[in-house]
Homo-oligomer: A and B are copies of this chain.
Amino acid sequence: MTERGGAPAARAVLQQCLQARLQVKPAVELSEAQFVQIDRGMVIYICFFKGASDDLLPKMASTLLNLKLCESDSGKMVSVSELPGSLLIVPQATLGGKAKGRAMQYHDNVSKEDGLRLYGAFVSLCEGQLAAAEAEVTVKHGTYGNRQVLKLDTNGPYTHLIDF
């Protein structure tokens, strides 16, 4: 599923959750930190590499939203669109890291500017595709560039990796 002769243009890690809470605004002086929260559903951690283009996004969104990774009440595997559940999209540039000695390097990651644009477009596409499918799915997402302070409660994270 990867493009550019094997090197991925984007990477997603998926974890199933019973509840997840993500900080979207850190505390500053007089104002408290702000969070978004989902209940049952899926967390998508997402990272874009150099060369990632907007053309990639519709396929990414449709693949990730339709994969049968979620356990329904009856124990059957369904997609997050069918659950009905919720989706938490977390920008996670660290997923682009490669070990070099004892340190991680992120030379293949997209620039911050392009990453911000692609991430925003990806979130909008997911919202759009779910709305079009009339799926009962709430989409929440982290703030690009922030530290992604996350709490996760699972019935088995069932962690998957998908490169695009």
> Once bound together, how far apart are the Cα atoms of A131 and B63, in whole Å?
44
Bound complex: CA A68 to CA B101 (Å): 10
In angstroms, Cα B81 to Cα A8, docked, is 31
Say whether B161 contacts A156, CB under 8 Å.
no
Interface: A13 (CB within 8 A) = yes
Q: How far is the CB of A49 from chain B (nearest CB, A)?
A: 12
Check B151 against A152 for contact (C-beta < 8 Å).
yes
Question: With an 8 A cutoff between CB atoms, is A128 at the interface?
Answer: no
Chain B nearest CB, measured from A11 CB (Å) = 7
Which stretch of A92-100, A114-122, A132-140 is in the interface? A92-100
Contact assessment for A13 and B147 in the assembled complex, using a CB-CB cutoff below 8 Å: no
Whether the pair A160, B67 counts as a contact (CB closer than 8 A) is no
* A97 partner residues in chain B, CB cutoff 8 A: 160-161
Question: What are the residues of chain B within 8 A of A147 when measuring CB–CB?
Answer: 155-156
Q: Is A143 in the interface zone, CB < 8 Å from B?
A: no
Copies per assembly: 2
A158 to B13, CA, bound (A): 12
A69-B104, A79-B102, A104-B69 known; A92+B159 contact, CB < 8 A: yes
Answer whether residue A103 sits at the interface, using C-beta atoms and an 8 A cutoff.
Answer: yes
State A153–B149 Cα separation when bound (angstroms).
Answer: 8
A66 at the B interface (CB under 8 A): yes
Known: A13-B13, A157-B150. A162 touches B79 (CB 8 A): no
Is the beta-carbon distance between A99 and B151 smaller than 8 angstroms?
A: no
* Residue in B66, B98, B150 whose CB lies within 8 Å of A102: B66
